[in-house]
Structure 1
Amino acid sequence: MPCADVRSRAWRLDHAPAIAHGQVVATRARVDLVATRAALPGELGAAVDAFERYLRLERNRSGHTVRAYVGDAVGLLDHLAKLGGRRVGDLDLGMLRGWLAIQRNGGAARTTLARRAAALRTFSAWAHRAGLIDNDPAQLLASPRAHRSLPPVLAVDEAAAVMQAGADEPSALATRDRLIVELLYATGIRVSELVGLDLDDVDRERRVVRVLGKGAKERTVPYGLAAERALADWLRSARPALARESSGPALLLGARGGRLDPRAARAVVHARIAAVPGAPDLGPHGLRHSAATHLLDGGADLRTVQELLGHASLATTQIYTHVSVERLRAVYTQAHPRA
C-alpha cells in the first residue's frame, strides 16, 4: 500500500473518535432544536416558520445561514415563552440582552455571540417590517467584537508537497483526491463551492471555473496548469469509472457515484496534508487561506484577491489574509522615497 494512503488511513483512524463525538453532539443539538421549535406557542412557532421562508426566499441566504439564524430565533422565542410571552410583540431590548447573557454565561465564544446578535437584529428588523412588533428593539443591541484569530497556513513548499502526496496512486478515488486539493489551492474557493461545481461550470479552454458563492452570487475564478492536468486525468478515466446513471452533471463524485459530500472533501484535505511531515493540520478553509496568502506574497493586489475569494467587503480580505514581513519590506523598499 502506498505510503500516502497509509498516512491517510492513519489520519482517519486517529480522528475517528473526535469525528464520531462531533457527529453525535450535532445530532443531539438538531433533535433538541426540533423539539424546542415544536413546543413554541402557536404565534411564536408561526413567526419562526415565516422568518425561515423570508431568509430562504427573499434574502436567498445559504442553507447554513438559514439553519443558524432560525436556530437562534427559536432559542430567543423559547426564552420569551419561558418568561410568559406569547407574542413576538412581547419582545423588548431587555429580553434580547438577557438571552445573550445566558449564552455568554454558558460559555459561548465571542464569535458565536456576535453571530447570534446579528441573527437577533435580522429577526427583529424582519418582525418589525412584518408588523409583529411595534418597534425594532434590536436597533440598540450591541454585540461583542469578535477576536479574529488567523489560522495557520501552509508554506509554499508544504503546499507543493501536499499537491504531490499520493501522486503515484492510480485509483479513481486517488485521482479525484488530487483534483480536490489542486482545485481548492489553485482557486481558493470554498469547499461548498467546490462540491457544487457541475461539468459545464468548467471552461477548460480559458481555464476558469464558474462558482456560485454566498448569497447566490456568481463569479469566475481562474486555475493553473497543474490543476488542469489533474482535471484532465479525472475526466479522462477516473470520473467515468465512478459515474452512475444517478451521477448527473456533478464534476466531483463520491465512491458510490453521487455528488461528492463536503464532509468527504474535508476528510480528503486533512488526510493529504497529514501525509506531509511538519505541515499544520488544515482543512479546505486552510487551503483557501494559504492560496490567498501566497497570492499576496507573490504580488497580487488586495482587490484582486477579494474578487477571487468572493468577499463582499475588502475589510474581510484584509483580516483573512496574511502578508509576510518579506512582502511588506519589499513594497516599502520599492515605494518609500527614503527607504
Structure 2
Amino acid sequence: MQLDRAVEAYLRHVSIERGLSEHTVAAYRRDLSGYRAWLDEHGVTDTDAVTVELVEAFSAERASAEPPPAATSLARLQSSVRGLHRFLAREGVVADDATRRLRPPKTPRRLPKALTIDQVEALLDAAGPAPGDAIEAAPAALRDRALLELLYATGARISEIVQLDVDDLAHGDVLRVRGKGAKERIVPVGSYARAAVDAYLARVRPDLATRGRATPRLFLGVRGAPLSRQSAWLVIGAAAERAGLTAHVSPHTLRHSFATHLLQGGADVRVVQELLGHSSVATTQIYTHVTVDALREVYVTSHPRAR
C-alpha cells in the first residue's frame, strides 16, 4: 500500500473507530506528515519498503536535531509512528511491525501544579457573581462562573465541558460526560456548581440561544454559537488575571486541583480515577505524589526534629 493511503486509513481509524478528538487526530496528522516526508526523501513510498532500521534511523535523526526536541515532543512523534505501523500489522497490510524495536525516550516526571482551595475560590469569584448575587450582572459573567464552577466540580477536560448538551445535566446532581474514545462516564455535581449552572440556564442561556442557530450545547458564546475551547481558555485566563493569580492557570489546572483536593480530603485513588475518566489507575497515581509532597512540606515545617 502507498504510504499516503496507509496514513489516511490509520487517521480514519483513530477518528471514527477509536473516537479520538479532532485535536488529537490533527496532531497525529502533523507527526505522520513529517514522517512520510522523511521516508520520501529516502526513496520510500510503499509500506512494504519500511524497515526496522529505517524507523530507528528516523527516530535517531529527530532525537539529534538542533535545537534538540523536548523529550515529550519526541515521545509523541514516536507514538504516532508506532500507532501507524501497529495498525498496518494488525490489519495485515504488512507482515511485521517495523517499530517493534523502537523504545520511547525517558520523559521527566512533571507533577501537576494544583491551586490551593483559597486560590480556586478567588478564581471562581473573579469569573463572575455567585448565583444569588448581582441580578443585573453581565450575561457573560454568569456563564463564565457556571463554566468554571463546573470544571472544578467535575474535574472534566475543557473539551468535554464545551461538548456538553443541556440534556447531559438532566439527571439531577450528576453529569453525563463523553470522554476520550467516546467513552461516557457519570460524575456527581456539587451544589455550588449546580446552582451556578441553573442560574445561567434560567437567566442567560435563553437570550444567547436566540442570537444563533438552535443548538443543544450547554455553553454558548455571545452570538449564540457553541462556546469553543479557545474561548473557554480565554475565560479562565481573564479570571485568573482578575484574581491576581501569577502562576499559569489553564483548564487542566482546575482538573489537577479537583483531583488533588479529593485525595487530600481522603478520597480513594480508584474513585478519583473513575471521576477523571482515566483508563489506568497508574495515570491517576501521579496525583498521590502531589499530596505526599504536601505532607512532607507540612512535616518539615512542623516537626521539631524534621530539619
**TM-score normalized by structure 1?**
0.80
Q: Structure 1: 5+ residue runs without aligned partners?
A: 1-41, 331-339
Alignment match of 1:232 (pick from 198, 202, 210): 198
What is residue 308 of structure 1 aligned with on the other side? 275
Alignment match of 1:254 (pick from 221, 228, 237): 221
Q: Does 1:46 align with 2:5?
A: yes
Query: Residue type of the partner of 1:155?
Result: T
Query: Residue type of the partner of 1:308?
Result: L
Indicate the SS of the match to 1:137.
coil
Query: Residue type of the partner of 1:265?
Result: A
Q: Structure 2: 5+ residue runs without aligned partners?
A: 299-307
How do 1:153-302 and structure 2 match up within 5 A?
A: 153-165=114-126, 166-167=128-129, 168=134, 170-203=137-170, 205=172, 207-244=173-210, 246-302=213-269
Tell me the distance in 2 between the aligned counterparts of 1:324 and 1:226: 28
Tell me the distance in 1 between the aligned counterparts of 2:246 and 2:153: 18
| Pair 1:251–1:314, CA change in 2 (3 A) | same
| Pair 1:52–1:224, CA change in 2 (3 A) | same
Equivalent residues of 2:19, 2:180 under 8 A apart: no
Tell me the distance in 2 between the aligned counterparts of 1:204 and 1:279: 37
In the TM superposition, residue 152 of structure 1 has moved relative to its aligned partner by 2.1
Indicate the SS of the match to 1:143.
coil
Tell me the distance in 1 between the aligned counterparts of 2:171 and 2:198: 9
Equivalent residues of 1:274, 1:281 under 8 A apart: no
What is residue 5 of structure 1 aligned with on the other side? none
Equivalent residues of 1:297, 1:324 under 8 A apart: no
Query: Residue type of the partner of 2:224?
Result: G
| Pair 1:209–1:284, CA change in 2 (3 A) | same
CA RMSD, Structure 1 to Structure 2 (Å): 2.0
What is residue 27 of structure 2 aligned with on the other side? 68
**TM-score normalized by structure 2?**
0.88
Indicate the SS of the match to 2:291.
coil
Equivalent residues of 1:158, 1:279 under 8 A apart: no
| Pair 1:140–1:325, CA change in 2 (3 A) | closer
In the TM superposition, residue 60 of structure 1 has moved relative to its aligned partner by 2.6
Alignment match of 2:71 (pick from 107, 110, 124): 110
Equivalent residues of 1:204, 1:228 under 8 A apart: no
Tell me the distance in 2 between the aligned counterparts of 1:113 and 1:197: 33
What is residue 102 of structure 2 aligned with on the other side? 141
Tell me the distance in 1 between the aligned counterparts of 2:101 and 2:146: 48
Indicate the SS of the match to 1:159.
helix
CA deviations over 1:227-261 (Å, ceiling 9, x no partner): 11111110111111211351311100011101110
In the TM superposition, residue 134 of structure 1 has moved relative to its aligned partner by 2.7
Identity %: 41
Tell me the distance in 1 between the aligned counterparts of 2:85 and 2:294: 47
In the TM superposition, residue 135 of structure 1 has moved relative to its aligned partner by 1.4
Tell me the distance in 2 between the aligned counterparts of 1:198 and 1:100: 42
Equivalent residues of 1:195, 1:261 under 8 A apart: yes
In the TM superposition, residue 219 of structure 1 has moved relative to its aligned partner by 0.2
In the TM superposition, residue 328 of structure 1 has moved relative to its aligned partner by 7.3
In the TM superposition, residue 54 of structure 1 has moved relative to its aligned partner by 1.8
Tell me the distance in 1 between the aligned counterparts of 2:237 and 2:74: 28
In the TM superposition, residue 212 of structure 1 has moved relative to its aligned partner by 0.3
| Pair 1:158–1:66, CA change in 2 (3 A) | same
Query: Residue type of the partner of 1:102?
Result: E
| Pair 1:204–1:274, CA change in 2 (3 A) | farther
